[in-house]
Structure 1
Amino acid sequence: MMIGALLGIICLGLLGFSIRLFYSGLRKAGTERTLDRLGRVQTASTLAPAGRDWLDRLLQRAGLERRNDHLLSCLAAWALLSLLIALAMGWAFGAVLLLTGPLLFRLYLGWSYHRRVQRMIEQLPVLLDHCVRSLKSGRTLSDAVLGGIAVSRQPLQGAMQRVRRNVQMGVSLDDAMQDLAELYEQDELRLFALGLRINHRYGGNASELLENLIKLIREREQGARQLRAMTGETRMTAIVLGLLPVGMASYFLLSNPKYLLTMWHDSHGQFMLLGAFGLQVFGCLALWRMLRSI
């Protein structure tokens, strides 16, 4: 029975991973079609190697330093804790704990990334405004952007240091900014990189271009805030629907633990509990996708 439960949990994890890959492929295909219509399809970036470590990318986006020894130590400690739990409470609990650790770490990285990117976008108009004032005082576009990086605040300054390093290594400013935009996958940074590329290839009034970009970013931010205010009831409903089954199961475990434990020791009960867990995961993914589309 324990082997069957373990296989069921592994199958559910693989199902969730396959659904994520499916949606990621759809989103990537849509982006490539859009870029193809605009005539801006590019090959892989020359600034990033094709075999970039996915963990290194996640840590960079979350603003964390990569330390292999620290990560390996945490992974070994978590595996040891899972083994102890498995010996004390059963292999099913140990397997669930072993899978929960990396999942929680991945969720933490995603939460840190979104919070960091939101603060960066809020600080980006200040950097662009400094660039506009520097351009009007007679400085070049490259000097204006690098000077704006120096006076920016964290976390934008730490992220833009990547652009500074690439420029100092001989990479053009527009390519360095494009590399940063692809790392963080933000439309505002892509627009900034596109503006720099247009100015680099065709010239024009850079200060006017950056002023229009500032206006666009602030209008997008205002529209996003209005959208969050208008959809607050919908988001709260989705959160309640997602947490209600978990809360009910927790209440049963606290008030009457034998109720669920008796079901777990029965083959039909295990099937029902695993089915309920799978439906809960599927429902949470569906609600998450619905919230992402708002």
Structure 2
Amino acid sequence: MLKPVLLILVCLVLLGLSIRLFYRGLRQTGTERVLGRLTQGQPQPVPTKTSWVGLDRAFLRAGLGRPSERLGVWLLLWAFGMLLGFVTGGWGGLLVLLLLPPLMLRLYVNWRYQRRLQRMIEQLPQMLDHTVRSLKSGRTLADAVLGAIDAAEDPLKNAMGRIQRNVQLGVSLPDAAADLAELYEKDELRLFALGLKVNHRYGGNASELLENLIKMIREREQASRQLRAMTGETRVTAWVLGCLPIGLAGYFLATNPHYLLAMWHDDSGQIMLASAFGLQVVGSLALWHMLRSV
């Protein structure tokens, strides 16, 4: 009876991946379309793709460096953990150690990325303000931006160091900023790169453009805080609904373990438990998407 349960879990995972890919395919913001029109007719750098480009990208955005150098060691430890789980817990232990480490790693990397990105956006207005003061003192736009990056604090300074390295290698400042915005996928960074590109191509008052960007970022941050305060009850309700079935299952295992174990040793009980697990996963994904929409 374990094989149908594993098949159901694999189908649910594949269904979740397909929904995620479809959702990502629909996400093409207006800023990306504007950037595409601005770069028409210009030579584009050819990206070098590797087998682990997605993993490297996720770790770079989270500030964890490149995992490719230590990937063999981590895969060996993971295989050893799965073998140990199979020896100690049978097929159930193998399944747990097969799925749990990648899931925990994904959650940790995503948490690090979101926390780091939030801190970067909080520091961005100060960096832009430093750039505006440098522009008004007579420095060029490129010198003002690079000087503001040197005066910034981590993690923004560490992330913006990518722009400095690209400029030193001969890449133009707008293209270097666009590369950074594409890496972190944040609207504020995309608008910063778009402003530099427009100023580089058509000219204009760069200090006024950056001042408007500073005002927009601060207004968006204030609106985001107000929205989080207004939707706090909704988010707490979603967390309670998502954690309630897991809490009840843990309570049953702690107070009366034979109740669930008797269901697991019965064919119909295994089907019920697998269905309940699948519905819990689907419901948690639905609540997660609802929380992201607010």
TM (norm. structure 2) is 0.93
Q: Distance in 1 between matches of 2:219 and 2:119?
A: 16
Structure 2 residue matching 1:139: 3-state secondary structure: coil
2:47 maps to 48
Task: Please say if 1:195 is aligned against 2:180.
Answer: no
One-letter amino acid matched to 2:157: Q
Q: Distance in 2 between matches of 1:74 and 1:261?
A: 34
Of 20, 33, 36, the residue aligned with 1:35 is 33
Shift of 1:68: 3.2
Change (3 A) 1:34 1:113: closer
2:104 maps to 104
Q: Distance in 1 between matches of 2:88 and 2:200?
A: 65
Shift of 1:50: 4.9
Q: Distance in 1 between matches of 2:77 and 2:231?
A: 42
Contact 2:56 2:67 in 1 (8 A): no
1:292 maps to 292
2:63 maps to 63
Task: Please say if 1:267 is aligned against 2:253.
Answer: no
Q: Distance in 2 between matches of 1:179 and 1:120?
A: 16
2:117 maps to 117
1:82 maps to 82
Which ranges in structure 2 are unaligned for 5 or more consecutive residues?
Answer: none
Q: Distance in 1 between matches of 2:282 and 2:204?
A: 51
One-letter amino acid matched to 2:291: L
Structure 1 residue matching 2:65: 3-state secondary structure: coil
Count of residues in correspondence between the two structures: 292
Which ranges in structure 1 are unaligned for 5 or more consecutive residues?
Answer: none
1:93 maps to 93
Task: Please say if 1:281 is aligned against 2:281.
Answer: yes
- Deviation string for 1:88-124 (max 9, x for gaps)? 2220331122111101101111111110000000000
Shift of 1:67: 3.6
1:212 maps to 212
Shift of 1:7: 2.1
- Deviation string for 1:44-91 (max 9, x for gaps)? 962633557101100111111114353332332232222222222220
Q: Distance in 1 between matches of 2:106 and 2:24?
A: 16
Q: Distance in 2 between matches of 1:77 and 1:45?
A: 40
Contact 2:132 2:210 in 1 (8 A): yes
2:24 maps to 24
RMSD: 2.1
1:235 maps to 235
Contact 1:57 1:183 in 2 (8 A): yes
One-letter amino acid matched to 2:209: L
- Deviation string for 1:194-226 (max 9, x for gaps)? 111111011111111111110000000000000
Pairwise mapping of residues 105-254 of structure 1 onto structure 2 (< 5 A)?
105-254=105-254
Task: Report the identity percentage.
Answer: 62
Q: Which moved more, 1:43-52 or 1:79-88?
A: 43-52
Shift of 1:4: 2.3
One-letter amino acid matched to 2:261: L
Contact 2:129 2:214 in 1 (8 A): yes
Q: Distance in 1 between matches of 2:179 and 2:171?
A: 10
Contact 2:61 2:183 in 1 (8 A): yes
Contact 2:181 2:189 in 1 (8 A): yes
- Deviation string for 1:262-292 (max 9, x for gaps)? 1111111111111111111100110111111
TM (norm. structure 1) is 0.93
Q: Distance in 2 between matches of 1:21 and 1:44?
A: 29
